[in-house]
Amino acid sequence: MRKIIFTCFAVLIFTAGGFAETKHYFVSRVIDGDTVKLADGSKVRYIGIDTPETRRRVWGGWMWAPEPYAKKAKEYNEELVFGKKVRLEFDKEKRDKYRRLLAYVYTPEGKMVNEEILKKGYAEMLTIPPNTKYFDIFEKAQKKAKRDNLGIWKN
């Protein structure tokens, strides 16, 4: 009888994800404040945030023309993830129209990068349904950054 109960319990835990492997990805390049490139060549766009742009399109090419706080957002993103293994969490839509992965990104220490960038005031919320899982957390982080006059909310 104990063997049957144990087996049922083990199956329940396994199917509920109790033994699910967490996959980590190595960040080989930080493109800007809200986009990174992984070692496998995939690009990841952070869900729920938008940082100032570092480049703009000019005649079919790209020109370095950072908006205010774009450089700070990129540098902070680098500090959090460059050269590290991160964990990706996906929402309902896994890719955008540019075929980038859409994810909530976690540092090796378990901090959500999307939220940390908002907290510093280096991003504003950009909620695109159906990827709205952490809307409330992001809204709270943005409100605090605004209230504290941080980053893009300074003036």
Active site residue 100: yes
Whether 56 is catalytic: no
pLDDT tens, position by position, 7-31:
444 444 444 444 445 689 999 999 9
Q: What is the pLDDT of residues 117-129, one digit of tens each?
A: 999 999 999 999 9
Would you state the pLDDT for residue 17?
Answer: 42
Is 99 an active-site residue? no
Say whether pLDDT at 2 is over 80. Answer: no
Catalytic member of 21, 29, 45, 89: 45
> What is the structure's pLDDT at 19?
44
pLDDT greater than 50 at residue 6: no
- φ, ψ at 62 (rounded to 5°): -115, 140
Task: List the CATH code of the domain at 16-150.
Answer: 2.40.50.90
